[in-house]
Amino acid sequence: MKIERRKWVRAVGEEAAPTLLKLLEAGGVAFDPTENRVNPVYREYTDELPEEDFSKVLALLSKAEPHLLPKADYEKVEFDFKQRTDKTWQVEQARLADERRQAQAATEQRLLAAGLHSLGGAGATWSARATQIGEWWTAVKQREAAEDWQSVFTANRMTARQVNAKGRGGKFNIVNRYDRKDAAKEREIYLERSLDGILARTTPAHFFSGTGSTNRKDELGLHDLSGTLLTSARPVFKQLKPYDEAVVVFMPAPTETDAQVFAAISSLEKPDADKLREYRSKFTRLRLAQSSDMGAVFVDDNKDPKAALRARYGINGRVLLPGGAIIPVDETMLAKRGTDALERSAILSSDPKALVNEVVIVYRQHAATDLFPLFARWDRDTTSYRVLNRSTLVPTGAWISDAGAWNPAPK
């Protein structure tokens, strides 16, 4: 169930509130664009609470002022705790988790086979399929060069990311994925989240410039970024979070076939390391995808805090299951985020009330360099997106309707 943090804090009173808040902390801090400040990251659902912490929360709520936390509200929390600790319920949850693991394993095998089939050739090594890989890569860039707004948008491949002054960038600390509450394991990260940072990600040399070259991703802060995958069946504005004065970055995701082929060649034995690095430096793609908000923050994905920093986004948070249950992401769900990125249509909905989905985008060079990435700003007066010059942010005269129709600049 949803944690009503502010309501619970008021109900337990000033003396108990700090203890309650400490129990509800997930570890680390995050920028809150609504409050325009950095706040602790709090758990949002009771399923995210360890059983021991949940028990302590329940004990605090049992002493809350009845007029601030009605008996019926407390009993809902109490019932949720009793269910969590019920052995029969636990067995059923374990069974459902095992079903998800088996289904996910089958999906991974299916998509790997599909990618290899689309690639063509035979053999488990890179050299065995080198001809097919080269032909596929040439065709990918030819297809990209021919893309325009309308062809990508109507194919439900357009991603959108909003960039505004309130977002958190620069240097800040991130928690260790495996021990979020240990401040001693926090690491400093540099994140370039500006519009210039988007363009820097589309410069291949920042990631690969020849044999033995250095990947400058960490140095320049060019980490993966979150965004939304758009569907042409719904107005664009309603698919995005309501950020004020944001510039929207529109960028195509690859076709499902190309995404699956890329994943397949990345899995081949004895890869051509330089070729693979080159392709990675020039192939915009989705790393992860989910049909709802991931609730993720940047974390260091290294158990050893002394090892090299491995800053990653999208590998924590929560998942909305069919039926409405919301659970913390586990390894199976994380793997599903990866396979959903390879068949992106799985996360899209034409339902007008559908939740905003979230994707993790690897921004890289697109062959239609004069068009993508495309910058635009929402215009309330005309309910449209006004296309901007990428260098000056001055409107070009071209615009995109809320329904996704492209309108060129007047001649």
Lowest mean pLDDT among 28-37, 115-124, 239-248, 356-365: 28-37
How is 305-349 classified by DSSP, letter by letter?
A: TTSPP-EESSSSSEEE-TTS-EEE--HHHHHHHHHHHHSGGGG--
DSSP E strands, 47-176 = 158-163, 170-176
User: If you search the block for the tokens 């008996």, which residue do you land on?
Assistant: 71
- The alpha carbon of residue 270 and the mean position of all alpha carbons in its chain are separated, in whole angstroms, by 30
The predicted model gives 310-316 an average pLDDT of: 95
The predicted model gives 305-316 an average pLDDT of: 91
3-state secondary structure of 161: strand
Rounded to 10 degrees, what is the CA torsion of 298, 363, 266, 340?
70
Domain boundaries, the chain: 5-85, 122-407
Residues 173-225 pLDDT 10s: 999 999 998 889 999 999 999 999 999 999 999 999 999 999 999 999 999 99
7 near 65, Cβ under 8 Å?
no
The burial class, CB within 10 Å (0-12 / 13-18 / 19+), for 250 is: buried
Residues 243-301 pLDDT 10s: 878 999 999 999 999 999 999 999 999 999 999 999 999 999 999 999 999 989 999 99
pLDDT at 327: 84
User: If you search the block for the tokens 């169930």, which residue do you land on?
Assistant: 1
The predicted model gives 396-411 an average pLDDT of: 96
pLDDT at 353: 73
Sign of the Cα pseudo-torsion (80, 84, 90, 96, in order): positive
384 near 401, Cβ under 8 Å?
yes
260 near 111, Cβ under 8 Å?
yes
The per-residue pLDDT of the chain, averaged, comes to 94
The burial class, CB within 10 Å (0-12 / 13-18 / 19+), for 361 is: buried
Residues 336-389 pLDDT 10s: 999 999 999 999 987 777 778 999 999 999 999 999 999 999 999 999 999 999
The predicted model gives 324-328 an average pLDDT of: 82
How far, in Å, CA of 387 to CA of 395, rounded? 6
Is the pLDDT at 34 greater than 70? The verdict is no
pTM of the model: 0.92
